[in-house]
């Protein structure tokens, strides 16, 4: 085992939900409160919404650039959502994992399935976030004010399709209360970080325990 492996915790936390269920805010809250986590910033061919900043919410790119990135193999997974292309840049994910950090992904069910099927799939912990009701979901989309009435209706259709994939996730949460939901995700992260497979560093600690055991036994004499 080399040093890179020794430090690798390899948590890939995938958050999916229908658009408007609060997943992006939850993802941001999570990385803000845990310095070991970084957010994967996706690439998309859709236009920025008001207030979105290139490189923060997304890297906004042309179809041509997106196709080139895919052809170059620098996209870990990609899918078409609402007629636009979305994809996860590979480099930042590998860098974060190699530095022993966890990565949070805000991707749809297609992204989750592809990440699981990728060579990094064993690191994936997938959480699906449900809205408390369909009425609330629609209300959130309308009050967000980022979509036309036609778009909201399309997003609601797609929301039901996305919800249909909840069984493909390791954990399912209902986002009734933002704080509680964020705490629940933090709990999942805390538990998953302690999986023995994610703690290669623990072998050295167990060696210390063995050495201590041997030395105490030696002290006791015959
Ligand atoms: P929005 O346009 O509302 O920001 O995102 C639309 C949908 O695309 C959301 O469900 C979001 O999770 C998903 N999405 C965002 N980035 C990616 C990505 O890199 N890959 C995949 N597969 N889905 C993504």
C-alpha–C-alpha distance, residues 104 and 109, integer Å: 14
β 124-130/12-16 pair status: parallel
Give residue ranges with CB within 6 A of ligand 1: 19, 42, 46, 77, 79, 81, 86-88, 106-108, 110-111
Tell me which residue of 205, 188, 204 sits closest to 11, measured CA to CA. 188
* DSSP-derived secondary structure letter, 198: G
What pLDDT score does 5 carry?
Answer: 47
Distance 80 CA to ligand 1 centre (A): 9
Residues 6+ apart with CB under 8 A from 192: 11, 13, 125, 198
CA distance to 75, 84, 85, per residue, from 68 (Å) = 10, 16, 13
Note the pLDDT of residue 41. Answer: 98
**Could you tell me which of 21, 3, 2, 192 has the C-alpha nearest to residue 104?**
192
107 alpha carbon to ligand 1 midpoint, in Å?
A: 5
CA count, 13 A, side-chain hemisphere, 48? 12
The answer to whether 133 and 69 have CB atoms below 8 angstroms apart is no
Q: Which of 39, 54, 81, 84 has most ligand 1 atoms within 8 Å of CB, for mutation? A: 81
8 A C-beta contact, residue 70 and residue 7: no
Ligand 1, atom 17, residue with closest C-alpha = 107
DSSP assignment, residue 21? Answer: S
User: pLDDT by residue for the chain (222 residues), tens digit each?
Assistant: 344 445 556 899 999 999 888 899 999 999 999 999 999 999 999 999 889 999 999 999 999 999 999 999 999 999 999 899 999 999 999 999 988 899 999 999 999 999 999 989 989 999 999 999 999 999 988 887 777 777 888 889 999 999 999 999 999 999 999 999 999 999 999 999 988 888 888 899 999 999 999 999 988 766
**Residues facing 105 on adjacent strands:** 14
CA dihedral sign, ordered 144, 145, 149, 151: negative
Q: What is the DSSP letter of 45?
A: S
Contact yes or no for 61/43 (Cβ under 8 A): yes
């Amino acid at each position: 085992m080399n040093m890179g492996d020794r430090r690798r915790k390899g948590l890939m936390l995938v958050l999916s939900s229908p658009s408007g269920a609060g997943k992006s805010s939850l993802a941001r809250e999570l990385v803000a409160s845990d310095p070991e986590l970084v957010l994967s910033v996706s690439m998309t061919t859709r236009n920025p919404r008001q207030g979105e900043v290139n490189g923060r919410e997304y890297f906004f790119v042309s179809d041509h650039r997106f196709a080139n990135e895919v052809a170059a193999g620098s996209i870990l997974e990609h899918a078409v959502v609402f007629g636009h292309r979305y994809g996860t840049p590979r480099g930042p994910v590998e860098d974060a994992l190699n530095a022993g950090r966890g990565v949070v992904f805000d991707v749809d069910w297609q992204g989750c399935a592809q990440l699981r099927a990728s060579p990094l799939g064993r690191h994936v912990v997938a959480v699906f976030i449900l809205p408390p009701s369909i009425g609330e979901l629609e209300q959130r989309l309308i009050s967000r004010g980022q979509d036309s009435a036609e778009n909201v209706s399309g997003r609601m259709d797609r929301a039901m399709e996305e919800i249909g994939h909840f069984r493909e996730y390791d954990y399912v949460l209902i986002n009734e209360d933002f704080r509680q939901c964020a705490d629940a995700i933090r709990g999942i992260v805390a538990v998953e970080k302690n999986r023995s497979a994610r703690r290669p560093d623990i072998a050295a600690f167990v060696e210390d325990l063995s050495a201590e055991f041997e030395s105490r036994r030696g002290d006791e004499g015959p």
